[in-house]
Structure 1
Amino acid sequence: MEFLLSTSIGYILGSFPTAFLLVKIFRGIDITKTGSGNVGALNTIRTSKSKLIGISVLLIDAFKGALSVFILLLLFPETFIFSALALLFAVFAHCFNPWLGFKGGRGLAVVAGGGLIIFPYTVLIWVLLWVIFFLMKKNHHIANIAATIFTLLLLFNTVDIAMKYSIIKPESSSSLIVITAALLMIIFIKHIEPLKEIIEKYKTNRVIKND
């Protein structure tokens, strides 16, 4: 019963199509068919030409993750797995939204919103790595992908620290790793298309240089 409740609350909250609704209401545009088609804050800014709408999407999406976790903490205080499952399903529903033909965002804001409540260490590590890779490559997709991969690798080697600084103590290190790996895997999957574009662009540039 607890598992069903956790996943259902997370899924319902995560499926709220923030970017789609705000862009549709204020600009009359279907964001899934405009720009990158991604239902997130960055494409909202590009599509709506409004930073205010984009920031609103970012904050509401983060709130979806935070609210999912918070509700489960109220229902099951000090129980990591239920809050973590709520966040996982919120991210899944956000990224593969059932109301939008399973299109969605890339999940970063939702993970950050909920993750800062239950495992801030992991979120802060991801942010730090993102800044480093972005400064190196000046490409947010590369930074997203690299930070996601290296966060998981670091977690395996620093799981004791992650456990220590988790606000809600995980039942075991394996539960923390599995949930975090699942979240990062969803983020990575949502970046496969941008990764393909980056690789194709790199190949094209190499051909041009060789010519």
Structure 2
Amino acid sequence: MSGQGKDFAIFDHPLWLAPALALFCGYLFGSVPFGILLTRAVGAGDLRQIGSGNIGATNVLRTGRKGLAATTLLLDVAKGFAAVKLAPLLGGDPESMMRLAAVGAFFGHCYPVWLKFRGGKGVATLLGIAAALGWIYALVFALVWLAMVALFRFSSLGGISAAVALPIAAFVRVDLGIFFLFGALALLVLWKHRSNIGRLLRREEPKVGGSKKPRPEDG
């Protein structure tokens, strides 16, 4: 009987449980569509039918409600931060759990099951993830984001540049685990912004505060 108990010990305490929970809980945090929830709560309609149809803060701004856009931005940052910071409570190696939760939160925002996997582009949530993994990464991200938007007035360019700056910062710090994580997430940000990149190259991307009518997939 004792031998049988040892044979099935892995089912009593499966090694995969904590990592799976980190991914799953991170996904749940990230998948909360605050932009849609807030615009509906104030009677501004369905965000997916406004402007570009994107669920992020840039599109919320197109409703004309700056405070609502700022709140959406902060909540999208917060959900990425919370998902990563709370992950070690599930057990397992803390650093590994945080990285798994980061992946889950990012995918949750970009591909939420509640919205038929049509979510946002991940920039604000990535800022929250960066803040949870190290204040220096959050600082680099925020400075690059703000500088690029201030200089060129393209929201998409700011987000793309900030995302690409993260693996560079991790490489400079010789933090290889974080480097590969940020590198993968930066590639996903580029993929989600592929239509924006095309318009930037064609000089058709609308600027922040510009009067040009937003196209599908903007921001």
TM-score computed with the length of structure 1 as normaliser = 0.79
5+ residue gaps, structure 1: 164-172, 204-211
Match status 1:178 vs 2:192: no
Aligned to 2:30: 14
Name 2:198's counterpart in structure 1: 196
> Where does residue 141 of structure 1 map in the other structure?
156
Does 2:167 align with 1:152? yes
2:83 equivalent to 1:75: no
> Displacement, 1:116?
0.9
Residue number in structure 2 paired with 1:169: none
Structure 1 residues 148 and 70 mapped into 2: Cα distance closer, same or farther (>3 Å)? closer
Give the distance between the partners of 2:60 and 2:40, measured in 1 at CA.
10
Alpha-carbon separation, structure 2, partners of 1:179 and 1:195: 22
* 1:108-129 alpha-carbon deviations (Å, 9 max, x no partner): 2212223212222222222222
Which residue of structure 1 lines up, in the alignment, with residue 189 of structure 2?
Answer: 187
- Cα-Cα RMSD: 2.2
Alpha-carbon distance, 1:192 to partner? 1.2
The structure-2 alpha-carbon separation of the partners of 1:62 and 1:146, relative to structure 1 and needing over 3 Å to count, comes to closer
Whole-Å Cα distance in 2 between the matches of residues 50 and 99 of structure 1? 25
Count of matched residue positions in the alignment of Structure 1 and Structure 2: 189
Instruction: Normalising by structure 2, report the TM-score.
Output: 0.77
- One-letter amino acid of the counterpart of residue 136, structure 1: L
Question: Relative to structure 2, which stretch is displaced further, 19-28 or 33-42?
Answer: 19-28
Quick check: 1:32–1:103 contact (8 Å CA) kept in 2? no
CA shift at 1:44, angstroms? 0.8
Letter matched to residue 9 of structure 1: C
Higher helix share: 1
